Amino acid sequence: MRKAAPLRRLQRTVSTEIHHGDVSEPLREEHKQILKQRELIRGAADAVGAAVPATLGRDIDRIDEFLLRRLLPHACAEEEAVYATVGKILDTPRATATMSLEHAEISRLAERLRRMRAESAPIPITEGAKDQASARQER
């Protein structure tokens, strides 16, 4: 499997920054950018049952895109590059177990959202979401 761009970027960051200083700064900056998306997710959650279905559908599509293209690849890259390095440095692979469990839960919930989105009739599904749902069903 080809390494995702976030993984390559984090691996370069970890290997470079461990030798040159603060490895946490690029990660903190990336987390700040990712955390900005919380408002989109909160807004959509608060709008369930009150928003126009098409608007809510677009918001959910944006959330799904964010999860699929940004957050989940970031979590995967952290697992493989950062957590593995931290485990080696601390001489215990369980040093980041709690954070790994958090990533697993995010992945589980993202998949649940995609399933619910594909199954919901009242909210129009965009072509991109249809293609993603079809690809998942073929697996």
50 exposure class (CB count in 10 Å sphere: 0-12, 13-18, 19+): exposed
* Whole-prediction pTM: 0.66
Note the pLDDT of residue 24: 75
pLDDT in tens, 44-102: 989 888 888 888 889 999 999 999 999 999 999 999 888 888 888 888 889 999 999 99
- Tokens 């608007």 — which residue? 55
Q: Give the residue with greater pLDDT, 11 vs 62.
A: 62
